Amino acid sequence: MELSIIIPTLNEEKLLPFLLELIEKENVKKNIEVIIADAGSTDQTVKIAKDYGCKIVPGGLPARGRNSGAKHATAPILFFLDADVLFKPGTIAKSLEQFKKKKLDAASFGIYTQEKNLYMNKTTMNLFYNYPQKLLKKISPMGAMGIMAKKSIFEKVGGFDEEIKLAEDHYFVKKVSKIGKYGIIRHIKLYMPLRRFRQDGYFKTFFKYAYCFWYMNLKGPVKSEKVHYNFGHYNKDKIKKKKHVNLRITKK
């Protein structure tokens, strides 16, 4: 096994099939295992994952789910993905190739939206995430939605801190960069949905993440109840048409 993809889930029956379909199309050499760390879904999430041949392990909040999945991973390289993320064909193979070529210990990616509106579009993501991610690469590394890491470095830093309320993924990348080689996989894009922004509010969500970023860099990771994180209530959002990838689902 060459790569272990780890996906934390909670009631993701609507969006998880899109991601699993994309992964399956790339797993032509059967060298990828997919581990679903489920936090107790009450819908068809687990059944869907089993239909795609995924390994199911106990989960929890995202940090705990990722840690649980990593414990059961058999590959030397881990790829942590959110259940609602999408990407273009060839993303996994190209990412793995660049990861090895650059001899990285951990890597993150540029993030764009699956849909566009006045508040969230390519310009917004570039200004508030992608450009800062590149500019602050050596000062404050950033990683979200998708993080690739060697299992050895994951174990060395102790995995994801389960006490952090939000931005535990950024903190994980920050820890890894201090003892290993971190990089951004160029020309590879991950696409996120806007359901969190729609349901919690665009400005509220933006300032919440901005607060966590600056707090983490000035004082350390946010572990107080000042920042509340919901996991699993975004599945009620309507699925918007995805323009960036082929989303035809064949599994029944």
For residue 80, report the phi and psi dihedrals to the nearest 5 degrees.
-90, 125
Q: What's the whole-model pTM score?
A: 0.90
Between CA 230 and CA 200 the distance in angstroms is 10
The rounded distance, in Å, linking the Cα atoms of 29 and 11 is: 30
Contact between 216 and 164 (Cβ < 8 Å): no
| Residue 235 pLDDT | 57
For CA atoms 153, 155, 156, 161, the dihedral sign is positive
Q: Are 6 and 35 in contact (CB under 8 A)?
A: yes
Distance CA(87)–CA(85), nearest Å, equals 7
Three-class SS of residue 77?
strand
pLDDT of residue 248: 40
Which residues of the chain are under the pLDDT cut of 70?
Answer: 225-252
If one looks up domain 3-236 in CATH, what number appears? 3.90.550.10
CA-to-CA distance for 57 and 70, rounded, in angstroms? 10
Ordered strands of the 146-150 beta sheet: 55-58, 32-38, 3-9, 77-81, 146-150, 106-113, 182-192, 86-87
Whole-number pLDDT of residue 31: 96
The pLDDT value given to residue 226: 62
> Which amino acid appears at position 65 of this protein?
G
Task: List, in sequence order, every beta strand (DSSP E) within the chain.
Answer: 3-9, 32-38, 55-58, 77-81, 86-87, 106-113, 146-150, 182-192
How many secondary structure helices (H) and strands (E) does the chain include? 10, 8
pLDDT of residue 229: 62
Give the count of beta carbons closer than 10 Å to the beta carbon of residue 87.
24
Candidates 171, 163, 152; CA nearest to 4 is 152
